[in-house]
Amino acid sequence: MRAIISDIHANLEALEAVLADIRRQNISEIYCLGDIIGYGPNPCECIDRVMADCKMCLLGNHDQAALFDPEGFNASAERAVFWTRKTLESGTGAQADKRWDFLGELPRVHREPNFLFVHGSARNPLNEYVFPEDIYNQRKMERIFSLVENYCFQGHTHIPGVFTEDLNFLAPEEIDFNYVLNDRKILVNVGSVGQPRNGDPRSSYVVLDNNTVYFKRVDYDFGKTCQKIYDTPDLDNFLGDRLGDGR
């Protein structure tokens, strides 16, 4: 049994709540699909927790932006990236160096028999969004599915659910929060730990138990995270406001 998380976005309160929920289920392996940092107020602490607790972690577009330069980011996200980089650079000692080394060595793709893990999509592991409404973009979805052997787990959009090869999107609520893997290809978006965007402020992640995917939601003290953002001038207040609305 393994947990698959994504899009923590430097939200320590959310990450700690999710990790506690995972521990209560005696889950031995945690995979992270990227975007440990960006938007949120605790980049150093979140990197430290992922380094300590995750068996596998991928590079997200916000992680890459902190390493290099943000491309295609809106003004709010760009400011957050530059503040994140400054915060990471202000650290001293071996742990600070270890964080940079960790980010710099993150892969974009992880493959196992029958399973593909990416941040964005099978076609563009770092940057491509696959939204629920893309089921109406047949050409895009057919191209992505052609690159998937069986099952692909991804994040990036912060919207959990299952995409089927016959171009349906199944929200967790529609499938009683679980999906049984079969011989048909699927894409599974695990949602976001630190910045949910489907109208539910609770953290989202999935558990893979044998051939069943379980979608999990976890309450956390988003008010505490919001206040940290409000107290940081370089982080736009909107980044805190959205947490309570799950948007």
* Mean pLDDT split into 10-residue runs, the chain, 247 residues: 98 98 95 98 98 98 94 92 95 89 98 98 98 98 98 98 97 98 97 96 97 98 98 96 92
Phi and psi, residue 174, nearest 5°: -80, -20
pLDDT at 65: 97
CB-based burial label for 148 (10 Å; 0-12, 13-18, 19+): buried
Q: Count of domains in the chain? A: 1
Which residue range(s) make up the domain with 199? 2-245
Give the tens place of pLDDT for each residue, 100-124.
Answer: 999 999 999 999 999 999 999 999 9
Quote helix, strand, coil % in the chain, to nearest 5: 40, 20, 40
Sequence-distant (6+) residues with CB within 8 A of 81 are 38, 62, 65, 66, 70, 73
pLDDT at 56: 98
Can you name the residues that pair with 215 across neighbouring β-strands? 206
Give the tens place of pLDDT for each residue, 34-82.
Answer: 999 999 999 999 999 999 999 999 999 999 999 998 888 999 999 999 9
pTM confidence score: 0.96
B/e letters for 202-228, b = 16+ CB within 10 Å, e = fewer, are: bbbbbbbeeeebbbbbbebebeebbeb
CA-based nearest residue to 194, from 224, 237, 153: 224
* Cβ neighbours around 48 below 10 Å, total: 17
Q: What is the CATH classification number for the domain harbouring 14? A: 3.60.21.10
Distance CA(247)–CA(244), nearest Å, equals: 8
pLDDT at 71: 83
pLDDT at 83: 97
* Cβ neighbours around 33 below 10 Å, total: 29
